[in-house]
Amino acid sequence: MPPVGIGRRSRALARTGRAVRYVDGGPPIDEAAPGAMAIASRRRKLEQSRIEMVRGYAETTTCRRQFLLGYFGEQLPEPCGNCDTCGTGLAFEHVTPSTTMAYPVGRRVHHVDWERGTIMRTEEDRITVLFDEVGYKTLSLSAVEESQLLRLDQHRGHDVSAVQPGR
């Protein structure tokens, strides 16, 4: 329901005496509605990012165990050898030396548009970050480095410094 409709409906309820404030001292519905809509929007973005991660899992040709552990912020250095992609040999085609340590799994980062997040997975050419406001995003490592899209949080969310390639 659009905010204008909520405000209009709220005023109509108030005129008929049927308006109810659910929290004592809380804001009127036409003031609370935009905040509630922002929360709902963030939730939809997070749910959509989860759907994209499930799609990524279904379509991956890398080790599924590595992918799944990456979703939960764990890093498996080598393919497991037990999943279907390992069984067909596809996962081993993607094995490369360790990804740059400039973006370690579990590290907090800041993006200019998506703000704060946590690195959940690193691969040869991409990293997956769980952003607090918009959910999971998989980013090209070369684009991140060339455009300095991410800054590593140095002290628990403070003193953010630019990540330099190769650091």
Tell me: the pLDDT tens digits for 4-62? 566 666 666 666 655 555 556 777 777 888 888 888 988 898 898 889 888 888 888 88
Q: Which of 86, 61, 58, 63 is nearest to 74 (CA)?
A: 63
| CA–CA distance, 167 with 164 (Å, rounded to integer) | 6
Token pair 């935009």 is at which residue? 34
Fold type of domain 99-167 = SH3 type barrels. (2.30.30)
What residue ranges do the domains of the chain occupy?
Answer: 1-9+27-57, 60-95, 99-167
Q: Which ranges constitute the DSSP H helices of the chain?
A: 3-16, 29-59, 64-71, 84-88, 90-93, 141-147
What are the tens digits of pLDDT across the range 87-104?
Answer: 998 877 765 555 456 788
Backbone torsion region of residue 89, taken as left when φ is above 0, otherwise alpha when ψ lies between -120 and 50, otherwise beta: left
Tokens of 112: 């200019």
Read off the pTM.
Answer: 0.59
156: three-class secondary structure by DSSP: coil
Sign of the alpha-carbon dihedral angle for 150, 154, 157, 159: negative
